[in-house]
Structure 1
Amino acid sequence: MNAIEIEEAISALAEQPFEPQEFPFQFLEAFGNKPTTIKKLKSGASNKSDIGGVLQASNIHIKIAPEGQVAETLADLKASPATTRSRAKFILATDGKEFQAEELASGELVVCDYGKFPDHFGVFLALAGISTIQPIRDNAFDIRATRRLNQLYVELLRHNEDWASEERRPEMNHFMARLIFCFFAEDTSIFNGTGLFTHTVDQMSARDASNTHEVIGSIFIAMNTPTKHDGNLDSRYRKAANLPRWADVFPYVNGGLFSGSTDVPRFTRIARSILINVGNLDWTKINPDIFGSMIQAVADDDERGALGMHYTSVPNILKVLNPLFLDDLREKLVEAGENHRKLLNLRNRIAKIRVFDPACGSGNFLVIAYKEMRAIEAEINERRDEADRRTEIPLTNYRGIEMRDFPAEIARLALIIAEYQCDVTYRGQKEALAEFLPLDAMNWITCNNALRLDWLSICPPTGMGVKHHAEDLFHSPLEQAQIDFENEGGETYICGNPPYLGSQGQSGEQKADLSSVFSNTNANWKGFDYVAGWFKKAADYLEKVEARFAFVSTNSICQGKAVSNLWPVLLQNGLEIFFANQNFKWTNLAAHNAGVIVSIIGLRRVSSQPKYLSSINPDGTEEIRKVSNINAYLTGSQDIYVEAASKPIGEKAKMAFGNMPIDGGHLSFSMSELSALNLADDTKRRLIKRLLGGAEFVRGQQRFCLWLNEETVKEARRFPELKQRLDKVRGFRMVSKRNATADLADTPYRFGWIAQTGREIVTLLPRILSERREYITVGTEPAGTLTTDQAYVLLDAPLWNMALIASRLHIVWIATVCGKLKTDLRYSNTLGWNTFPVPKLTEKNKVDLTRCAEDILLAREAHFPATIADLYDPEKMPTDLRAAHDRNDETLERIYIGRRFKNDTERLEKLFELYTKMMKTKGAA
């Protein structure tokens, strides 16, 4: 369950009659507990309570209190030894009238009337396995409002099929934006009278909803009809509009929000009820930081199933904005102190800064940037004794491009709401209201394809008046006339979280987008992630404009072959990476969601100013270091691109693919298939070999194959089943359209590609490695074992080679230079093993590493018959096996630097340093 679904279930529970015996189980069901789990609790099989309540281990202890004794019951729950013993996260007591709960780790207390407990559902999200984010806990309103708006949207479309058409969907989305504004305006005194919009619809529309659309339409007409003429109050326009008296009380809003068609979809009784329910929420609690990204899913058919799961946390957004420009502004604020002249200069600078998000979605980055800038400006005004001064930061300095119309509308609305909230905070509600209406028609959120649009039309070089500007706040036709708007001396910062789709997940249109962006380069762009298009557009923009940019990106563009294909193109015209956050998980609100692994990368023109690299330490803390350079692999090392090598550098053994059957599956057998042949043991020894691919090795599966030569094939053909299999191989190869495969038809008893004689001791590892595992799953197999091309092999290699592969150093190198297939590591012998830099090893080094490899193998053997998959599950890895790997890591790392590395960043930097030296030595030779 996601947060939206949980809120819905909790709200439904609060509306039901209170049933003391059932409430604990209903509460747990609302947070996604399965029927089997509830059944065990009800039967007492898993109920650990020692005071007659319901205790779910590691989660919550609940008890129904006698009437009027809720506080006392909560104290009993807290004092219960079972609460401590079972590591409960929460305690909860209620008598159906009062509700009290406590999060034990933080001490956060919830005390409210029983019917109000859904307002605090965010506190309990951990019960559903959701890592809570503080703004979500503090602003449960946004989730509740989003769910109800989604219900309204779906209900209206269900009964207004024409509004669901592609032609009218933008109109429907615009209607929803109008409603959101009305809900906000009626609760924040923008309209005269709290609840004016909702109360008017409730009073003036029929209970059967037959005229609800007409009532709302009249209100919209009022908000599009001026109340002034030549700056003076004048009723001529309102009279001409023939507004009913009850609609005439609504103010003139316009700004494009209520211009154009005032058509309203027809309402059902259910839709009318939902609308009034939504309006009765407290919209003063709206948080545009969160609300925009959640509400955009309402209008997106593809995203509605994941409603509420696309929230980008403010701390994550600030990881982009702070090093991009906000940290510098705050430093200048500290330097200015109480110096009025310096403060004035800083205020003037801030007023000219443009923030541009070319994939703005619902405007999260722009809203946060605006609010942070307003906070700095407010501090300046406070120090200059001008606290109630009107802001000089125009919304027109916050610009975006968004492909879909509804998120673009929400972005515009979110910025308007943010501006009003900031005015109330820093100047007071009276001043905020006096200047809020009518809305300014200027709009810099453009609805278009960012990879096809000239970004200079949105943010031209300062001092130029060539730009793309929309007709009014909520309409943005591309062919609109250009309007002069000079920003001489201003700075431009580009930021955002552009869409990332692996190269395999792109549509034909998206492939065409990348083609258009990279058409004038030699880059092999077909393997690029979609996000690479934004990096190239931004790099091109920096050629013409003094600016900086920083994007959140999938880490795929800083791994594998994409690095040498993409980054020389990005950096060729005098750009450099000036800050980066290395790999971290960008989580959302889905329960048990591990999150996508991303990086944050900032680029600017080459400068002598400092560069900063952020990484996550093993204990989860963030470390920010000042470095002299940041390369495309996001390490503090020289610029270098690792290229595939045909043979290993250093003393390492040669690694190759395993054997390739090319047989249609007819040369191999499962254990049961082999048994069914009833071959004598000596026959099996001559004709059959054990066969392993990567999956068989990891899962402990038994598989076998025919392994024949010109002599033994004659014997094999005496067995009808084996002869039939050889004939099938021949047939499979003969019909192949690939000439090389068809040529193999005459020798159906031989594998298509043979890497072994079958007599070697084999060291093998899978070609695809699970991202979850902390080490590469490498092992050894006795002579006579064959491998498929789904594994890499070293033949008769000294065992110290296995110690290298099994190390933390090696998996970090592979993850960086080889990249991933979806979320798993994609191993490469030429790019990963052959290039892996190892210092010159002494004989003692080799003996020590051999012993480490033996210890790993012995630790595995001690847990027979556990499979590699079992042993390397990070949550179940045996202590002795982990200790053996730890000794291996310490032994190897001491060879590199005389001690253990502090973290993966230090490991990579040493590896790149050593790789650079080895390449120079190789080149000199």
Structure 2
Amino acid sequence: MPLSPNEIRSRAASFAREWAGQGYEKGQTQLFYREFFEVFGVPIKRVATFEEPVKHADTSKRGFIDLFWKGKLLVEQKSMGQSLIKAKTQALDYFPSLKDEDLPRYVLLSDFQTFELYDLEAADGEEGELKFPLEEFAKHAHKFGFITGVEKKTFKDQDPVNIDAAELVGALHDALEDSGYTGHDLERFLVRIVFCLFADDTGIFARGIFEDLIERRTNPDGSDLGGWIAQLFQTLDTEKGPTRPKTLDEDLDAFPYVNGALFKETLRLPSFNTEMRDRLLDACRFDWSEISPAIFGSLFQSVMNRDERRQMGAHYTNETNILKTIQPLFLDGLWEEFERLKSRSMRDTRRKTELEKFRERLGSLRFLDPACGCGNFLIIAYRELRILEIEIVRELIDYQRDSFGQFNAPLDVSDLSRVNVDQFYGIEIGEFAGRIAETAMWMMDHIMNNRLSLEFGPYYSRIPLRKAPHIVVGNALEMDWSDILPPAECSYLFGNPPFRGHQYRTEDQQADMWRVWGRKGQVNRLD
């Protein structure tokens, strides 16, 4: 499990005491950053390299980046007392020579006794620069949450990172399928693997332990990989403590209990070879912290056979179009109500009560998508509701400040959110897409819990999973929707049902049309 915030702060304080008054660039940089990353419980070898060769943009001479984590962090280190102005110029000078996909979000400059951290993707209005002395490391340790996978995400429609991730899963899918591993077991296996890949990079697991297990503990020819994965799935479905075997391998015991029935079913597992293991390792080495669960779900589904995908009527609705649907349906009205409450004077004795009632109401809403596919509409609706809730919380916590603007006691982040995934319901005819939707909802939940933690206090996670979205696998045209969500409890219904031209319908789909619309008139021409 990831380290607790208190443990990280304690380690940061010890690190600061140990390195006070020290700092020689050539002889101590690597030891300094090995111990720096250990503050967060992340062995540096899992994520970064020292002395990465690169050409200078102005002279074309070869230089060396002191520490480089591709796509995440570039460190330029100087000896104690040296100017960091030159270090910043030197760090940025490396950028033109880096591949686009390797460009880091963060730049860290240090002379051992001071730090300067720059977030190059900070949104407008957010602090993108942090400077502090070594002795204040414990105070600012939470700003390095990206090391453990806890960072604020900004998702972009059509982001290539989602396509890259789907292609990696597609390559693994093809290798498994070519070996004769197919059907239900393959689909559930891939969903579990994607969850593990995401968990490995976002703080659900201690960072990198899944990749480390596959790379370090399994044979290069893949002969024992299936056995290790079987044990891992069983471990993820077993609570910590006496229910786990006393003889359980310590690398497996480091994994948390996930719950949520995600790992409960016993699957027939594949017999791996070298190529299949290599495809899994390729996926492990990718940074899964950057993907959008909403968009990736649909791309993930595209690893299915193309003919089957056309037959099922699957299609991709981008985020922009989803927002065009849900904003006028309910989001715009909720935001308008919040702005009215927010604008009331702090002296208004009803303001706090009304804000609390509004937050409780968000937690009571129920949403249904009767043709949810991989859950795009549900996932984005959930994310947007959590974003609104965070703004409500921001207003409410001001009432807990004293006359000096400080909190009398640490905030209990776990008590701040009322919105949860079990408010969302979906019907999906394909089991694979339905399981993707369920898992992607949990992934988005974790991302939003990370955001809540970054905004208001200590790290907060809903692991083990206690609640789940209600995704029912079946034909929505043959089901009584009220059995899934009674109409009186349904707040909003939305979605984008799959479509097929009338000339491409199967006999079953034609029967669905007749059952719903009858046989009179031109209904047969409807998509």
TM-score, scaled relative to structure 1: 0.38
Aligned counterpart, 2:383: 371
1:260 aligns with 2:260: no
Instruction: Select the residue among 220, 238, 241 that pairs with 2:244.
Output: 238
1:179 aligns with 2:184: no
Q: Alpha-carbon deviation of 1:110?
A: 12
Check 1:302–1:494 CA distance in 2 against 1; reply closer, same or farther (3 A cut).
same
Gaps of 5+ in 2: 1-53, 61-91, 104-154, 345-350, 399-410
Q: Alpha-carbon deviation of 1:311?
A: 4.1
On the 8 A contact 2:222/2:277 being kept in 1, the answer is yes
1-structure distance, mates of 2:352, 2:520: 51
Q: Alpha-carbon deviation of 1:456?
A: 0.7
Aligned alpha-carbon RMSD (Å) = 3.0
Matches within 5 A, 1:781-820: none
Length, aligned pairs only: 369
Q: Alpha-carbon deviation of 1:499?
A: 1.1
Aligned counterpart, 1:197: 210
Q: Alpha-carbon deviation of 1:430?
A: 10
Q: Which has the higher helix share?
A: 2
Rg larger in 1 or in 2?
Answer: 1
CA deviation string 1:273-312 (max 9, x = no partner): 1111111111111211211111111134426799xx9543
2-structure distance, mates of 1:285, 1:452: 38
On the 8 A contact 1:424/1:432 being kept in 2, the answer is no
Q: Alpha-carbon deviation of 1:247?
A: 1.5
Aligned counterpart, 2:19: none
On the 8 A contact 1:183/1:283 being kept in 2, the answer is yes
Q: Alpha-carbon deviation of 1:349?
A: 2.1
2-structure distance, mates of 1:211, 1:258: 20
2-structure distance, mates of 1:244, 1:259: 20
More contact order relative to length (CA 8 Å, sep ≥ 6): 2
CA deviation string 1:32-89 (max 9, x = no partner): xxxxxxxxxxxxxxxxxxxxxxxxxxxxxxxxxxx9685699xxxxxxxxxxxxxxxx
Q: Alpha-carbon deviation of 1:185?
A: 1.0
Specify the SS of the correspondent of 2:303. helix
On the 8 A contact 1:183/1:197 being kept in 2, the answer is yes
Check 1:255–1:114 CA distance in 2 against 1; reply closer, same or farther (3 A cut).
same
Q: Alpha-carbon deviation of 1:440?
A: 2.2
Aligned AA (1:189):
G
Aligned counterpart, 2:445: 419
Aligned counterpart, 2:99: 116
Specify the SS of the correspondent of 1:276. helix
Q: Alpha-carbon deviation of 1:409?
A: 0.9
Aligned AA (1:151):
A
Matches within 5 A, 1:12-27: none
Q: Alpha-carbon deviation of 1:326?
A: 0.9
Matches within 5 A, 1:497-896: 497-519=496-518, 524=521, 526-530=523-527
Aligned counterpart, 1:140: 160
Aligned counterpart, 2:134: none
Check 1:209–1:170 CA distance in 2 against 1; reply closer, same or farther (3 A cut).
same
Q: Alpha-carbon deviation of 1:524?
A: 2.7
Instruction: Select the residue among 334, 354, 362 that pairs with 1:350.
Output: 362
Specify the SS of the correspondent of 1:135. coil
1-structure distance, mates of 2:102, 2:429: 34
Specify the SS of the correspondent of 1:246. helix
Aligned AA (2:196):
C
Specify the SS of the correspondent of 1:330. helix
Specify the SS of the correspondent of 1:445. strand
2-structure distance, mates of 1:319, 1:425: 24
2-structure distance, mates of 1:225, 1:68: 49
Check 1:334–1:430 CA distance in 2 against 1; reply closer, same or farther (3 A cut).
closer
Q: Alpha-carbon deviation of 1:422?
A: 0.7
1-structure distance, mates of 2:291, 2:195: 11
On the 8 A contact 2:450/2:461 being kept in 1, the answer is no
CA deviation string 1:830-871 (max 9, x = no partner): xxxxxxxxxxxxxxxxxxxxxxxxxxxxxxxxxxxxxxxxxx
1:383 aligns with 2:392: no
Specify the SS of the correspondent of 1:254. coil
Aligned AA (1:326):
L
2-structure distance, mates of 1:509, 1:305: 15
2-structure distance, mates of 1:69, 1:431: 40
Aligned AA (1:427):
S
Check 1:384–1:269 CA distance in 2 against 1; reply closer, same or farther (3 A cut).
same
CA deviation string 1:646-699 (max 9, x = no partner): xxxxxxxxxxxxxxxxxxxxxxxxxxxxxxxxxxxxxxxxxxxxxxxxxxxxxx
Instruction: Select the residue among 181, 188, 209 that pairs with 2:202.
Output: 188
On the 8 A contact 1:423/1:429 being kept in 2, the answer is no
1:400 aligns with 2:426: yes
On the 8 A contact 1:362/1:408 being kept in 2, the answer is yes
Aligned counterpart, 1:285: 290
Check 1:446–1:327 CA distance in 2 against 1; reply closer, same or farther (3 A cut).
same
Aligned AA (2:262):
L
Gaps of 5+ in 1: 1-66, 74-108, 121-133, 228-233, 463-486, 531-925
Q: Alpha-carbon deviation of 1:204?
A: 1.2
2-structure distance, mates of 1:111, 1:495: 48
2-structure distance, mates of 1:110, 1:142: 29
CA deviation string 1:165-221 (max 9, x = no partner): xxxx122111111111111111122112x2101111111111111111111111111
Specify the SS of the correspondent of 2:250. coil
Check 1:186–1:211 CA distance in 2 against 1; reply closer, same or farther (3 A cut).
same
On the 8 A contact 1:398/1:444 being kept in 2, the answer is yes
Aligned AA (1:211):
D
Q: Alpha-carbon deviation of 1:313?
A: 2.2
Q: Alpha-carbon deviation of 1:453?
A: 1.0
Aligned AA (2:379):
V
Q: Identity over aligned residues, as a percent?
A: 31
Specify the SS of the correspondent of 1:446. strand
Q: Alpha-carbon deviation of 1:364?
A: 0.7
Check 1:326–1:301 CA distance in 2 against 1; reply closer, same or farther (3 A cut).
same
Q: Alpha-carbon deviation of 1:359?
A: 1.0
Aligned AA (1:140):
P
On the 8 A contact 1:354/1:397 being kept in 2, the answer is yes
On the 8 A contact 2:446/2:461 being kept in 1, the answer is no
On the 8 A contact 2:293/2:444 being kept in 1, the answer is yes
Check 1:402–1:71 CA distance in 2 against 1; reply closer, same or farther (3 A cut).
farther
2-structure distance, mates of 1:221, 1:144: 29
Aligned AA (1:524):
G
2-structure distance, mates of 1:404, 1:328: 33
2-structure distance, mates of 1:69, 1:313: 40
Aligned AA (2:365):
I
2-structure distance, mates of 1:118, 1:197: 23
Q: Which has the higher strand share?
A: 1
The list of structure 1 runs, each at least 4 consecutive aligned residues, that deviate by more than 3 angstroms after superposition, is: 67-73, 109-115, 117-120, 303-306, 386-389, 428-435
CA deviation string 1:596-624 (max 9, x = no partner): xxxxxxxxxxxxxxxxxxxxxxxxxxxxx
On the 8 A contact 1:255/1:438 being kept in 2, the answer is yes
1:438 aligns with 2:487: no
1-structure distance, mates of 2:299, 2:418: 30
Aligned AA (1:260):
E
